[in-house]
Structure 1
Amino acid sequence: MNLPTLLFRNRLGLYLVLCLGISLASCGDPSDISDELLDGKVIFDPSIMAPENYLTSLSNPNPTPEEASRPVFILCHGYSASTFEWSEFIAWSGNTEAYYTSSVLLGGHGRTYEEFKSNSWQDWQWAIFDEYEALLDAGYTNINLVGSSTGGALILEAISSGYFKGKTAPKHIFMVDPIVLPSDKILPLIGVLGPLIGYTEAENTNGEKSYWYTYIPQKTLQELQKVIKKVRLDLQKGINLPSQTSLNVYKSTHDSSADPASAVLIYKGVSPSNQVSIKMIDSELHVFTRLNYRIESVSAQDRTNQEQTFQDIVEIALHH
């Protein structure tokens, strides 16, 4: 389970707070966070302790000219998640020498509840920029961005704000279930409802509890709403891709977190259209490329969707 799905599963409680004006037990912050949770003070994203195992800029800071020309995938996870979200792609890639992966931990994520709560969406995004610029400084020339869920929204915002102007632009951008429009329309009300509840609790599986936050501060939900609202407005105005950059979007058709209409908004709002590809995937999962520790049953079709998408991403990066 990941966000924003968990917010929507608590919408009945939110409506009761709004309508009845009562205080829930979840007002403020959680009083006792177990050390078995990512939210606690014991479990951290492993990339914090050993970043050289996750970031190509650290594992190979002095590439040869041939190495510098290989594709590097900067993998950007979603809101409330961690580097684990793209671990299956890294495992699938094995020990390949055809390309590199850089698994970025978004700012404020993978740490304690308090640290997560205190970071803005701009802080989340800067982690992507840090690795991008480190790769450029090291001489890498074939950089590709891969974003899931909110990771996709953060990449779109970077394009619209002109971050890549004056820099070597990414060769390809890949997005899996980017969230531009939430499936449940309660999220835009978080500015009103959030202060009444303080935080909400995710229905994570036992496996997910080490890699996704269980307690979600309402402040961070407000930050999520801010960035996806900004991206929607930017898409309405029009977002122009760098001239040599392709955008490839893979969108689940029955996504309970990111409305499938997000893909339509991206297609209509990003230009030039001949650099944009949208593939609708027959799936009921949000971030359908992540299958481990799901509460949902994982079908043979889910595994096929994952495999085909991984193959497509690598094929495009290596041969286009």
Structure 2
Amino acid sequence: MSTTYLNFKFILICSLLFTCCSSNPEIDNATMLDGDQIFDASLYNPAQYLVSKAIDNPSAIQKNMPVIIAVHGYSAATFEWDEFRTYSNANADILISQVLLGGHGRTYEEFKKSTWRDWQEPIMTEYNALIAKGYTNINFAGSSTACPLVLDLIQKGAITDNGMKNIFLIDPIVIPADKLLTLIGFVGPMLGYFESTNTATEENYYYHFRPQETLNELMDLIDKVRKNLQNGYRLPLGTQMKVYKSIKDDTADAVSAVLIYKGLKKQDGSAIEVEMIDSNLHVFTRLDGRDTVTQKDRDMQKQVFDDMLQLLQQ
């Protein structure tokens, strides 16, 4: 059997597995985030989502309150942290900034042309704005791709000593669970985009079509973060980290948590904390909009939210 035939067969299998249709996706503007009618709510009213926009002149009490910068993953939107905000509002006295990644929450074309550095920029914008306003208890919570974005910021020293108290990583992706994603640079240009399976609710908050250009950006980001973790580095002084990782999900391999645990230490050289979660959901803390949610899923979500809030109050 010739090598040419094997390569053709492999490409065909990849195409079927990724269920891509054509180079130009057919977007329903009225029902999909990809279109030009549905946008992330934070774009309309930033003050409802960002502490830096909501409070012009924070009081001394507010400056010392825990502020958590909550950031969603690739192809998602601020919706991913709505449930945490709702739960926190009812159970804790903290401030929350739900940051929309650059290039996200807008049209397919805007998403397509964005880079991972564009995605990262709003995180630093909000962090710097909070620092400038005198907040002293800044924290971070990221899901999926938000995790390597903040890990990169730590590695390159963008987050300074005593600048962030706690960092919570939910299902961080450093190694993809779908190994075909590693071939995106080869297969992607031939296919153009890939299609995801969303529920009717998710269509409003997650891209249905994922441009191969953005998947290449995702791979560039996680490759960079993986190499940095293999070399090893440390958290800023005064910063704690806890990783919560589903034992099995279809996006982020559980090895991702192992790499973070081995490659990243506290400033004094001690280990960060990792908790493996008995779940097969990716971003198990987001349950709204899913087709099937069990009581076990809800109990696990509450357990992790309670744990995060307790650590924030220490």
Task: State the TM-score, normalized to the length of structure 2.
Answer: 0.92
1:56 maps to which residue?
51
2:265 maps to which residue?
271
| Distance apart, 1:94 and its partner CA | 2.2
Alpha-carbon spacing, 1:55–1:206, altered in 2? closer, same or farther (3 Å): same
Q: Is 1:250 matched up with 2:244? A: yes
* Secondary structure, counterpart of 1:144 in structure 2: strand
User: 5 Å matches for 1:41-190?
Assistant: 41-94=36-89, 98-165=93-160, 168-190=162-184
| Distance apart, 1:25 and its partner CA | 7.0
Deviation sequence 1:17-36 (CA, Å, 0-9, x none): 6699xxx9734221444321
State how far apart, in whole Å, the 2-side matches of 1:152 and 1:217 are.
21
Q: 2:200 aligns with which of 196, 206, 211?
A: 206
* Secondary structure, counterpart of 2:313 in structure 1: helix
Q: 2:189 aligns with which of 191, 195, 199?
A: 195
Q: Which moved more, 1:84-93 or 1:156-165?
A: 156-165
1:292 maps to which residue?
288
* Secondary structure, counterpart of 1:146 in structure 2: strand
Unaligned runs of 5+ in 1: 1-12
State how far apart, in whole Å, the 2-side matches of 1:240 and 1:19 are.
40
2:12 maps to which residue?
16
State how far apart, in whole Å, the 1-side matches of 2:204 and 2:15 are.
35
Structure 1 segments, 4+ long, off by >6 Å, are 17-20
1:132 partner amino acid: Y
Q: 1:40 aligns with which of 13, 35, 39?
A: 35
2:152 partner amino acid: E
2:283 partner amino acid: V
Q: Percent identity?
A: 47
State how far apart, in whole Å, the 2-side matches of 1:48 and 1:195 are.
31
| Distance apart, 1:97 and its partner CA | 6.6
1:206 partner amino acid: A
Task: State the TM-score, normalized to the length of structure 1.
Answer: 0.90
State how far apart, in whole Å, the 1-side matches of 2:59 and 2:119 are.
31
2:228 maps to which residue?
234
Aligned residues: 302
2:34 partner amino acid: D
Alpha-carbon spacing, 1:195–1:14, altered in 2? closer, same or farther (3 Å): farther
State how far apart, in whole Å, the 1-side matches of 2:57 and 2:263 are.
38
Deviation sequence 1:24-55 (CA, Å, 0-9, x none): 97342214443211000000000000000000
Alpha-carbon spacing, 1:309–1:19, altered in 2? closer, same or farther (3 Å): closer
| Distance apart, 1:93 and its partner CA | 1.5
Deviation sequence 1:32-81 (CA, Å, 0-9, x none): 44321100000000000000000000111211111100000100100000
2:3 maps to which residue?
none
| Distance apart, 1:14 and its partner CA | 7.7
| Distance apart, 1:164 and its partner CA | 1.6
- The answer to whether the Cα contact below 8 Å between 2:162 and 2:237 also exists between their aligned partners in 1 is no
1:225 maps to which residue?
219
